Amino acid sequence: MDREAARRHLDALWARGRAFLGTETAIMGGAMTWVSERHLVAALSDAGGFGVIACGAMKPDLLAAEIRATRALTGRPFGVNLIVMHPELNQLIEVCIAERVGHVVLAGGMPAQKAIARLKAGGARVVSFAPALGIAKRLVRLGADAIVIEGAEAGGHIGPVSTTVLAQEILPHVRDVPVFVAGGIGRGDAILAYLEMGAAGVQLGTRFVCAHESIAHPKFKQAFIRAAARDAMPSVQVDPEFPVIPVRALQNKATRVFEDTQRAVIARFRRGELDQTAAQLAIEHFWAGALRRAVIEGDVETGSLMAGQSVGMVEREQATAAIIEELVGQALDAIGARAAVEA
């Protein structure tokens, strides 16, 4: 099979995802707080992918400014990721509608039907995360226009199930809407495999942290380039009575101190010095500002180095367009190699 035939085959596989996103490739950028801002988002969209602004804890006025700044950098489609637990979610939704954002990704929990309906009425397509088949089906019933299934290999807050298992569980049974696969994807041949399983496209975050256009601090990028897959580990919960939502990140000094902090706080609770609510808040407060310290300030010792296990495939700093070209090239190589074997 020649290169053009391989490209036609790939285009057919992710045609649904490309049509949904309005892009040349069905590669979504994962929304990474502090990293997925205007420069990386615009670069992803300009390179044929789909950039997604990470709203995170932004206030409505700041989000509006970021959307406008991104639109000033690219004329291509991009989206916005909103955290459903944000105290000003309704106002953020209104900002997205007012700014004519075409796609809104609702993350961090089960979105309310009212939020989905408002976005759709305002002209946006709604994408939501499903950590299980039942939730995926429920989201479709609630009106979600597309689903992202993200496995435990991903960076940041994670669930307990691997990407490969989620793909097998969900892809054969959710056909009404496009499904994008995420978590631990770092190569084009892996993208091809999920497309052939029925995915409409994929979402990648970690691979783009070290893009030239990423504003991440050089020390943060160097930590990624040096890391192996096994260095990206979930945070440890010391006591089930004090639940910690697992976060996958590169291990550093802060990781070890967090475990000691949990033990010290729990000991204070056992001695009656803190009630359970105060103890839980003290544990959760440990990471406050830690991601910004690492990404923006370059504090790779006490900051949070959120990374997916695909970090082992981040070998150097590259232009965003070069990363996408490499991923597409690997997918085309895999198609060609298989055709050669079958010939």
More confident: 64 or 339: 64
Q: If phi over 0 gives left and psi between -120 and 50 gives alpha, with beta otherwise, what is residue 22?
A: left
Within 10 angstroms of residue 176's Cβ, the number of other Cβ atoms is 12
pLDDT at residue 7 greater than cutoff 80: yes
pLDDT band at 148 (very low <50, low <70, confident <90, very high): very high
Q: How far apart are CA 149 and CA 11, in angstroms?
A: 21
Question: Of the candidates 248, 146, 176, which has an alpha carbon nearest to the alpha carbon of residue 205?
Answer: 248
Provide DSSP, 70-110.
HHHH-SS-EEEEEETT-TTHHHHHHHHHHTT-SEEEEESSP
Cα 36 from chain centroid (whole Å): 10
Three-class secondary structure of residue 127 per DSSP: strand
What pLDDT digit, counting tens, does each position of 25-81 carry?
999 999 999 999 999 999 999 999 999 999 999 999 999 999 999 999 999 999 999
| 130 torsion bin: left (phi>0), alpha (psi -120 to 50), beta (else) | beta
Residue 343 has pLDDT above 80, yes or no: no
Phi, psi angle pair for 180, to nearest 5°: -105, 135
Give the mean pLDDT of 99-118: 97
The per-residue pLDDT for 88 is 97
Q: Which of 164, 221, 203 is nearest to 17 (CA)?
A: 203
How confident is the model at residue 113, as a pLDDT? Answer: 97
Percent of residues, the chain, with pLDDT higher than 90: 96
Q: Check whether 245 has a pLDDT greater than 90.
A: no
Mean of the pLDDT values across residues 120-139?
98
Structural domains of the chain, ranges and CATH numbers in brackets: 3-216+313-342 (3.20.20.70), 228-306 (no CATH)
Q: Phi and psi dihedrals of 125, rounded to 5? A: -90, 140
* Confidence tier at 333 by pLDDT (50, 70, 90): very high
CB 334 within 8 A of CB 1: no
DSSP label at 68? H
Per-residue model confidence as pLDDT tens digits over 170-201: 999 999 999 999 999 999 999 999 999 999 99
CA distance 128 to 143: 10
What is the β-pairing status of strands 156-157 and 247-250? antiparallel
- Least reliable range by pLDDT among 78-82, 90-94, 191-195, 338-342: 338-342
pLDDT bin (cut points 50, 70, 90) of residue 1 is confident
Give Dmax over CA atoms of the chain in angstroms.
73
- pLDDT for the residue 226: 98
Contact present, 320 and 240 (Cβ < 8 Å)? no
> What is the structure's pLDDT at 339?
81
- Say how far apart CA 63 and CA 271 lie, in whole Å: 44
Q: What is the pLDDT of residue 340?
A: 81
pLDDT value, residue 288: 82
In this predicted model, what pLDDT tens digit does every residue of 193-238 receive, in sequence order? 999 999 999 999 999 999 999 999 999 999 999 999 999 999 999 9
Is pLDDT at 341 greater than 90 in this prediction?
no
Structure-token pair, residue 156: 């940041």
